[in-house]
Amino acid sequence: MNLLIHREYSYRASSFVSLYADRIEFTSIGGLLSGVTLNDVMMGISVCRNVKLANIFYRLELIEAYGTEMRKIREVYAETGKKPEIETSENAFKIILPNLNVRTETTKSPVNKPAEEDQEEMIISLAKRQGAFTRKEVQEELGISQSTSGRLLKKMIGNGQIIQEGKGRNTHYRISE
């Protein structure tokens, strides 16, 4: 709603809502009003560029009150470890909101993730227990991402520690003999 209410409509440029897997970005044309700083906005100060439009949104109960959104955004992200980013220029205002439902590699991994050498030892141990194993089993056993497990397996193949057998879904690994 803020993108529409605070936009500078005298410019013929577009506003943007860009969706990504890990974030959503809102870019509004017009920047901050003269005399208003980003610190002012973060404190909840709202100087409305389009008062009539804001009043319509308020009467339709699409917005609650002026100047509350930044506080609400900060509260939502307060204990998540992720922070919204704000960029401003004379003619644009952009807010980037991280997707709180995305699990990054650091949130998937255990807090005390084993060092790479220990991970290699854990893979060798898995191979001794099972004989053959898959990348997915390594991923689950070590609590690492798909890309990290693939990179680790390629390194171990290159070092001659393990061998790869099969292709595609039938790919599995064994200890080199």
Distance CA 125, CA 109 (A): 20
pLDDT of residue 110: 46
Backbone phi, psi, residue 164, to 5°? -100, 135
Give the residue with greater pLDDT, 67 vs 9. 9
Helix locations, 43-161, DSSP H: 51-59, 69-77, 105-108, 116-130, 135-142, 146-158
Q: What was the pLDDT predicted at 45?
A: 82
Side chain identity at 22, as an amino acid letter?
Answer: D
115 DSSP 8-state letter = P
DSSP 20: -
Per-residue pLDDT of 89-136, as tens digits, reads: 888 999 999 998 876 554 444 445 567 778 888 898 888 999 899 998
pLDDT band per the 50, 70, 90 thresholds, residue 174: very high
**pLDDT value, residue 162:** 93
pLDDT of 8 strictly over 70:
yes
- Considering only CA atoms, which of 177, 175, 171 is closest in space to residue 135? 171
Give the 3-state secondary structure of residue 88: strand
pLDDT in tens, 146-170: 888 888 999 999 999 999 999 888 8
Question: What's the whole-model pTM score?
Answer: 0.54
Average pLDDT (84-90) is 90
